Structure 1
Amino acid sequence: MAEPGGNGSPLISFVVPVYNVRSYLRQCLDSLLADDSVPVELIAVDDRSTDGSADILAEYAARDPRVTVLTLERNGGQGPARNRGLEIATGAYVWFVDSDDWLADGIVPAVAARIAHLDPDVVVVDHVRSHWDGTVDASRNNFAAAPEVFALHEWPKAIEILHTPWNKIIRRSLLLSTGFQFKTGWYEDVPFTYRVLMAADRITVLDRVGVHYRQRRVGAATRTVGEGHFAIFTNWAEVFDTFDDSRPGADKLRGLLFRRMIWHFLIVRGNDDRLPDEMRARFFTEMNAHYHRFLPPGGYPVPGGMDGLKHRLVAAGRHRTFQALRFGFRRAQGAKAGGAVAVRAARRGKGAARLGRKAALRAYYHAELRRPQDPRLALYAAYWYRGYACNPAAIYEKARELAPDVRGVWVVRRDKVSSLPPGVPYVVAGTRAYFRALAQATYLINNVNWPNYVVKRPGSTHVMTHHGTPLKVMGLDQQDYPGGVQDADFAGQMRRADRWDYSITANAFTTQMWERAYPCRYRTLETGYPRNDRLASATPDEVARVRASLGLRPGQPVVLYAATHREHLPGYHPPFDPERVRAAAGDDAVLLMRSHYFHDRSGAAPDPVDLPGVRDVSAYPSVEDLYLAADVLVTDYSSVMFDYAVLDRPIVIYAPDWEAYRMIRGVYFDVVAEPPGAVALTLDDLLDAFRTGSYAGDAAAKARAEFRRRFTSLEDGQAARRVVETVFKD
C-alpha cells in the first residue's frame, strides 16, 4: 500500500458537489483550504449552478492550485456530482463535504494525525447542527465509548451515527473496490454509509467536532415538502438487498440496521416540513410494506416506551391509531402551552384590557384586511417614512411611465409631508388612511421592512429594495458580532423578511450577502439600484444645472463628506477638521457635509459652523444632487461609496477607527485593502491626500476601476425599468 499522501499525492481529496449555494460557498471552501500543513486537493463539482456559484469556484481555482472545478453538462443532483468528483480524485482518502456546511478549525490536521497513527479504512468525525439563528445543537454521540479501531460487528453502535457521507473520511481504494455509485435523488447517503461501514475492516472515530452541519432556514431537502421523501424506501431497500450475510456478526447487524430503518421512517413520517397531510397515509403504507419485507427472521431489538409502540403500530399497519396517537400528543402539548400562556397573561394584570387609540387603529386595520385588495394600488415608503427618496422613489417614477394603471401612494411621517414633491399622493403614517391603504394595497415597495404588525395578504407583492450595498454585516451575519447588534431578535428579522416577494440588489456581491443574511423565500432581482439610474444617465448639462442650483461656480472644486453612523457607539463622530480639509482641497474649494439619515435632519441648520466654504447639506432632500455636484467623495464605511462609484470620480476612504469597526461591527470585505480609491487612516493622511493630489492619482484610479468592475457593472440607467417590468408587468 502506498504511503498516504506520499510521492507528492494528496492525503485527502475533498469532493464538494455545488448547486446554487453562493451564500454559503465561500465559508465552506475557506474551511477546507484553511490549513496548508496537510496535502489536500479540492474537487468542486458544479452541478450547473444558476446563481453565480460557478464564478466563486472559478475565483478559488484561479488563486489556489489545490482547487479543481468540474462543470457538469446538465444538472443531475448531488449523488452523480459526487460520483464525478470521485472519478478524478487522487488522494489516499476521500472526504465528501456538502457545500453549505463547513469544517471546524483544526480538524484536517487531526484527521491526518489519526490516519498516520492507525492506518484506518474509515475515519468518522463528530458534528454539531448549526442553526440559522446562531444556536448550535451539541453532539449526541458518545464517541469516547468506541474502541480505538474496530470493524462494525465489534462496535455496532456505529450504526446509530448519522448516516451521511460528510462525517466520514474513507480510503479511496475501499470506495473503488465496493464499486458504490451514488444515485440521484434524496436519501442517497443511506446505502453509501452502510455499505462503506460493512466493507471496512478498520474504522476509527475521532472524538471531536469536525463538521458544522448547517440547518438552513429554507432550501434544504429536510425542510422541503414533497414526493421526494419517498426515495427513502428505495435507498433503504438497497441496504438490505446488498447486505453481506457472510460478514461476522451479520445476524445482529441486520437486526440493528432494521431498527435504524424504522427509526428513520418514523422521523420522516412525523416531520411537517417533509410530508403534507395528503401523503402521510401512503407513506405509512410503504413503511408497513418495508417492515414485513425486511423483518429479520430472528426478529430485532424493539425499542421500549413510546418508540416501541410506534414500531408495533407500523408492523400492524394501524395508520388510524398511529395518527390518533400523534394528534393526541400534539393536543396535550398545545394544552400545556396554552395553560402557560393563560397563567402569564393573568400575571400581567387583569386590568390591561383598555383600548387606546393605537389599539383602535390596529383593530380598524384588521377590519380593512377583510375587504378586497385594490389590484391597482401600490404603497411606497422609504427610510421609516422619512420622505420621498431612494430606490422606492425611482421605481415610483418609472412605474408612472410604464405602468400608469397602477396608482402609487406614499407613506410619510406628518413632519415630512412638506418634503414631498408636488402632486405625489400620500397618507400620513399612523392615521386611518394609512391603515386602510396598508390593508388594501396589492404592491408594497419599501427600502426597509414594514412594521411587525403588517400582515402579508395572499396575492400581495412585497418589494424590498434595500438602501445600499452592504459593507457592514447584516441580518443573521450580525450574530458573529454581538457588540454591534442593535436588534437581537433575529427570528423577528426573519419573519419580516419572510414577507418579501422580491429583493432588489445592485450586484452579485450584494445578492450573495443578502441571501446569506436573510435566508428566506424571496426572488432576487439583480438589476442594479433604481436610484442610481440618474447617476448613470447624468449629462454634463444636468451636472451644471445642479451645481448652479447649489450656488457652486463652474470649475469650483467640491468635496462631499458623508460618514456613516456607529450603532455601537452612539454620538461618535470621526475626528474631522472641516476647515483644514477644505483648505487642503484648494483655496476656492467647497466642503459639503452630510450626516447619516439616522440623525434627525428636520432642524438642521444650513451652516452649523461659521466657516468659509463649509456647508451642512444634511437637510438637502436629494443626495443624488450632491453626488452630481461633488468632484470627490470622502466617506468611511457608508454605502454611499458604491453609489458614487457609478460616476467614476475620485473617492477617499477616511477610516480612523477601521480596526475597531471591523472587529466590533463586522464587515463583509476589507475596504482598506480593496478600496474604491485612496485610503486615509488618520486626519493627517486625509489632508496629505488632497495636498499631494494622490486622491486622484494613478493608484487611486486603478483601485477605483477594480471597485467599479466588482460593484457597478449593472448600473446602466435601466434598473428601474427592469424592476417595474418584472414586478408590475410580469
Structure 2
Amino acid sequence: MNWGNGPSLSIIVPVHRVQGYVRQCLDSILAPDIPNLEVIAVDDCSPDGCGEILDEFAERDPRVRVRHLDENVGLGPARNIGLDMATGDYVWFFDSDDYATEGAVRAICARLEETRPDVLVFDYARAYWNGRTQRSVINHLFREPPAPDVFTLAERPSVLQLMMTAWNKAIRRDFLVDLGLRFSSGYYEDLNVTYPILMAADRLSLLDRVCYVYRQRRTGAITKTAGAKHFDVFAQYDRVFAFMDEMGPKADPFRPLMFDRAIWHLLVILQREDRVHPSDKERFFARMSETFGRYEPPGHTPPPPEDKPYLAAKYRAIKAGDYRRFQRIRAAEVRRRTARRRLRGAARIGRGGARRLKRLVNRHLYYRAQRLRPIDEQLAVFAAYWFRGYACNPAAIYEKLRETVPHIRPVWAVKPGGLATLPEGAEFVLFGSAGYYRALARAKYFVNNVNFPDEYVKRPGQVHMMTQHGTPLKKMGLDQMEYPVGAKEMDFDALIVRSDRWDFLISSNPLSTEVWERAFPCRYEVLEIGYPRNDRLVAAGGDEDERSRLRAGLGVPAEATAILYAPTHRDYQRTYSPMFDIGRVMDRLGDDHVLLLRAHYYYKIQSMAADAGWPADRVIDVSGHPSVADLALASDVLLTDYSSIMFDYAVLGRPIVIYANDWETYKRTRGVNFELTASPPGVVATTEDELVDAFLSRAPWSDAAAKRLADFRARFCPWDDGRAAERAVRRMFLNEKIENPPQ
C-alpha cells in the first residue's frame, strides 16, 4: 500500500475462542468507505466457530485476509504473525472480543493523514457486561495541557500514564519494524512494545476521541484468571528497562515516571483477588521488592503522603521488602473503603430501601431447613415454560432418561393448569407446595428450558441443565440491553445470577453456540448436540400412518393442504393481532387449504376464530394443543414470521413460508442475530397479496425454495439426527464424553 489517498492502515486481529464477539468486532472496523484498509485476522487455532466466521468475512470483503494457524501460539506471537503479513503504512493491533466506536476508523485515518506520527494514541471506554460504559478515568491527559499536533515524550511525559496496551495506538509499521520490537508470550505480551515505542518516537500524536471499546467480560479474560502466569509481568518490565538502558541518557527523563508506572501496575496485579493466588502473594511481593530495588532511579521521590497516604506507605514497605507491614497497610486501606461503602448502603436503605428487606415467610423457612438435609443423588427435577407443563426439550430428555438411566427418579414441577399435560404415571410436585420446595432443596439434577425462580438457591453438588426453547433468531440475554422495547426493564443482574446456576447449556447449532456465549457469559459447558425436542420429528417425519392419524384427530381432510400458521410474539404489541386478514386469505386460497392457527403462548385467542367469523372447518385453532411436534407432523407447510419453530420444522424438509411484513420494525424493536430475509428457509412474502400468490402458485414447493430450505437446514440443523436427547442424558446423568455425528 502507499500514501495515495492518505496513509493505509492494517488492523491486526488475533482470534481465539471469541465466536460470540468476533462478528461485532469485524463489523465495527470494516468501514465501507475506507479503501486503504486491510484487516488481517489470525485464527490462533480457535477450537470454536471463529475460523468459519473469519472465512465468511473474507469471502464477502476483499480487504479481509485470514491466516489459520495449525497450533495455538498465544496473543503475542499471533500479533507478530499479523505484523509480518501487514502491508499498511500503519498497524493497529485489535483484540477480537472488543469493538470500535462508530466512525472510529475514519477518525483515526484522518488524524494519521493530518499528523503523520510514529505513534497515534487515542482514547477508549470500558464496556461492562451489565451494560455500563465508562470512558477511561484519565481521559483528561488528552487535553491538559493542550497538546500540539505532534510532540515527543520528553515534551509530554504524561503520555506514559495512558493505557499501556497495544489496542489504543496506531503505529507506523516501518518505525516498529526498524526498532526490532516483537510481542512476547504470556499475559502481558504488549508491555515490552507499547512503552518503548513511546520513548523512541520522534513524532507522537493524540486523538481525544473514544475509538475503542474494551469489553469487560464476566468470564474468559486471561488477565482476570488467577495463576502463576501473572509472574510473567516481571520479565516484561525487565525488557522495558533494558530498552531504556540501550537508549542511554535519552531515557533518563522517563525513568522516574516509568518506575512509578511499573510499581503501580504490579500493585494492581498483587491486590486484585482474580490475579495472583493467595498462596503466591508473598512470593509475588518479594519479586516486586526485587524489581523496586533494581530499577528505582537515583534520587527518586516517592508519592507524597499527604496526597496518597496508603501508596506512600506501601512504597516504603516494598522498598524494605517487608510483606507483613504491607499486609497491615493493605488491611487498613480495605477497612476504610468497606466502611465508606457501608455508610453509602445505609443511606440508601434509609431513603426507602426497607421495603426490599421483606423476605422471610414460612415456605422460605421450610425451604431453608430442607437445604440442610442431604442431596438425593437419584432425584431429578424437570420443568418447562415456567411450570406450564410437560413440553419441549425437557420432555424429550425425560423420556430418554427413563429409558436409559432407570435408577434416576424424575419429578415434574408444574402448576395446577399443567397437570393434564403430564404423561400417565409421571411423578409431579405442584409449584409452591411443600413437596416442590423439598424437591428444589434436595434434588441432584435439574432440567428446565427457562430459569428456575430467583428464590432457588443452588447447593454445591446440584447439577443444572438449561435446554433453552428455540434457536435465537432474536436477541437474547445481555444482547437485549440495546433493545429496551424487547427487554421491558429486564433485571439483567438477576438474569446473570440465575444463569450462573447452569452447568450445561444445550445448543442446537453453531449460531446458538455463538449467541449463548455472548448473551449469557457464565461458566457452563455448551452442549452443541441438536435439539432433543426434534428427535420426534426425525423419527416420525416419514411415517405416513402417523401423519394420517394426527390429521384425522385435528379434523384436517386427507386431500387438503394443511398450513401450520405459528407467528411469534411481538414486543411492540400489547395483544395478539394477526399480521394479515386470515379470513380473507383463506377465502382466496379456496376450500382445499386448511389453516392450523397456533398463537404464541403469551396470548389467549380461543374465541378469536368465532368472533372473526372464520370458517371453523378451515381455520382450526390449535393454540391449546399440547404438542407442537404433532402439529408439525400433521401439516404440509409452515407459515411463520420470526418464530424459532422454523428451525425445528426445517428438520422435516417440508416447505416453509416466511411472512415478513414488519421485518424492519421487528429488527429495530427486538434485535436479530442474522438477516432472515437474506437467507430464508423458503419463500418470503411481505404483503398479503404476495402471501396468497405464493400458495396459489405453489412457490413453496418449487426447486428454488427447496434449495433455500436445504441450505438453511444444513446451517441450522446439523446435529438433528434423532439422538440429541440421548446425548444430553449421557453427558449429564452418566458423565460420558459425547461426540456429535459427522455433518
Query: Shorter-normalised TM-score: what interval?
Result: over 0.9
Given that 2:571 and 2:669 are in contact with CA atoms closer than 8 Å, whether structure 1 keeps it comes out as no
Partner residue of 1:545? 549
Q: 1: distance between equivalents of 2:106 and 2:608?
A: 62
Q: 2: distance between equivalents of 1:248 and 1:700?
A: 73
Would you say 1:673 and 2:678 are equivalent positions? yes
Task: Classify the secondary structure of the residue corresponding to 2:21.
Answer: helix
TM-score by length of 1: 0.95
Aligned-residue offset at 1:322: 2.2
Deviation string, structure 1 residues 505-532 (Cα, Å, up to 9, x no partner): 1100011011111111111000000000
Question: Which of residues 319, 322, 329 is equivalent to 2:323?
Answer: 319
Task: Classify the secondary structure of the residue corresponding to 2:254.
Answer: helix
Partner residue of 1:233? 234
Structure 2 gap ranges (5+) = 736-743
Q: 1: distance between equivalents of 2:354 and 2:180?
A: 70
Task: Classify the secondary structure of the residue corresponding to 1:206.
Answer: strand
Distance 1:97 1:410, change over 3 A: same
- Aligned residue identity for 1:632: V
Q: 1: distance between equivalents of 2:420 and 2:92?
A: 63
Given that 2:609 and 2:621 are in contact with CA atoms closer than 8 Å, whether structure 1 keeps it comes out as yes
Q: 2: distance between equivalents of 1:379 and 1:161?
A: 53
Aligned-residue offset at 1:553: 3.4
Given that 2:7 and 2:109 are in contact with CA atoms closer than 8 Å, whether structure 1 keeps it comes out as no
Given that 1:153 and 1:248 are in contact with CA atoms closer than 8 Å, whether structure 2 keeps it comes out as no
Aligned-residue offset at 1:60: 1.3
Would you say 1:294 and 2:298 are equivalent positions? no
Task: Classify the secondary structure of the residue corresponding to 1:421.
Answer: coil
Aligned-residue offset at 1:247: 5.4
Aligned-residue offset at 1:77: 0.7
- Aligned residue identity for 2:405: A
Distance 1:504 1:246, change over 3 A: closer
Aligned-residue offset at 1:297: 2.2
Question: Which of residues 111, 116, 126 is equivalent to 1:114?
Answer: 111
Partner residue of 2:462? 460
Task: Classify the secondary structure of the residue corresponding to 1:242.
Answer: helix
Residue correspondence of structure 1 range 525-536 to structure 2 within 5 A: 525-536=527-538
Aligned-residue offset at 1:604: 7.1
Question: Which of residues 75, 78, 96 is equivalent to 1:81?
Answer: 78
Given that 2:270 and 2:276 are in contact with CA atoms closer than 8 Å, whether structure 1 keeps it comes out as yes
Q: 2: distance between equivalents of 1:722 and 1:37?
A: 48
Q: 1: distance between equivalents of 2:624 and 2:339?
A: 55
Partner residue of 2:18? 21
Q: 1: distance between equivalents of 2:700 and 2:30?
A: 37
- Aligned residue identity for 2:573: L
Aligned-residue offset at 1:549: 2.7
Farther off after superposition, 481-490 or 190-199: 481-490
Given that 2:448 and 2:465 are in contact with CA atoms closer than 8 Å, whether structure 1 keeps it comes out as yes
Distance 1:335 1:171, change over 3 A: closer
Would you say 1:32 and 2:29 are equivalent positions? yes
- Supply the RMSD in Å over aligned alpha carbons: 2.3
Given that 1:583 and 1:589 are in contact with CA atoms closer than 8 Å, whether structure 2 keeps it comes out as no
Question: Which of residues 577, 581, 606 is equivalent to 2:581?
Answer: 577
Deviation string, structure 1 residues 127-151 (Cα, Å, up to 9, x no partner): 1111112111123222123332112
Q: 2: distance between equivalents of 1:13 and 1:632?
A: 49
Would you say 1:557 and 2:561 are equivalent positions? yes
Farther off after superposition, 82-91 or 480-489: 480-489
Partner residue of 2:413? 411
Residue correspondence of structure 1 range 335-374 to structure 2 within 5 A: 335-339=339-343, 341=345, 359-374=361-376
Partner residue of 1:721? 726
Partner residue of 2:63? 66
Deviation string, structure 1 residues 316-364 (Cα, Å, up to 9, x no partner): 2232232223233333343444455556656769899998xx8111111
Q: 1: distance between equivalents of 2:354 and 2:295?
A: 60
Residue correspondence of structure 1 range 597-608 to structure 2 within 5 A: 597-599=601-603
Q: 2: distance between equivalents of 1:536 and 1:445?
A: 22
Q: 1: distance between equivalents of 2:505 and 2:39?
A: 33
Task: Classify the secondary structure of the residue corresponding to 1:716.
Answer: coil
Q: 2: distance between equivalents of 1:167 and 1:244?
A: 26
Farther off after superposition, 475-484 or 506-515: 475-484
Partner residue of 1:616? 621
- Aligned residue identity for 1:410: W
Deviation string, structure 1 residues 358-402 (Cα, Å, up to 9, x no partner): 811111111111111111111100000000000000001111111
Q: 2: distance between equivalents of 1:353 and 1:206?
A: 48
Deviation string, structure 1 residues 277-306 (Cα, Å, up to 9, x no partner): 222222211111111111112324535423
- Aligned residue identity for 1:295: E
Farther off after superposition, 563-572 or 504-513: 563-572
Aligned-residue offset at 1:309: 2.3
Given that 2:12 and 2:92 are in contact with CA atoms closer than 8 Å, whether structure 1 keeps it comes out as yes
Aligned-residue offset at 1:175: 1.5
Q: 2: distance between equivalents of 1:64 and 1:433?
A: 59
Distance 1:288 1:5, change over 3 A: same
Residue correspondence of structure 1 range 511-522 to structure 2 within 5 A: 511-522=513-524
- Aligned residue identity for 2:508: A
Given that 1:128 and 1:138 are in contact with CA atoms closer than 8 Å, whether structure 2 keeps it comes out as yes
Task: Classify the secondary structure of the residue corresponding to 1:548.
Answer: helix
Partner residue of 1:147? 148
Farther off after superposition, 691-700 or 257-266: 691-700
Q: 2: distance between equivalents of 1:197 and 1:617?
A: 69
Distance 1:673 1:353, change over 3 A: closer
- Aligned residue identity for 1:188: E
Given that 1:13 and 1:91 are in contact with CA atoms closer than 8 Å, whether structure 2 keeps it comes out as yes
Given that 2:447 and 2:464 are in contact with CA atoms closer than 8 Å, whether structure 1 keeps it comes out as yes
- Aligned residue identity for 1:175: L
Deviation string, structure 1 residues 705-730 (Cα, Å, up to 9, x no partner): 22112111211111111111111112
Partner residue of 1:429? 431
Task: Classify the secondary structure of the residue corresponding to 1:592.
Answer: strand
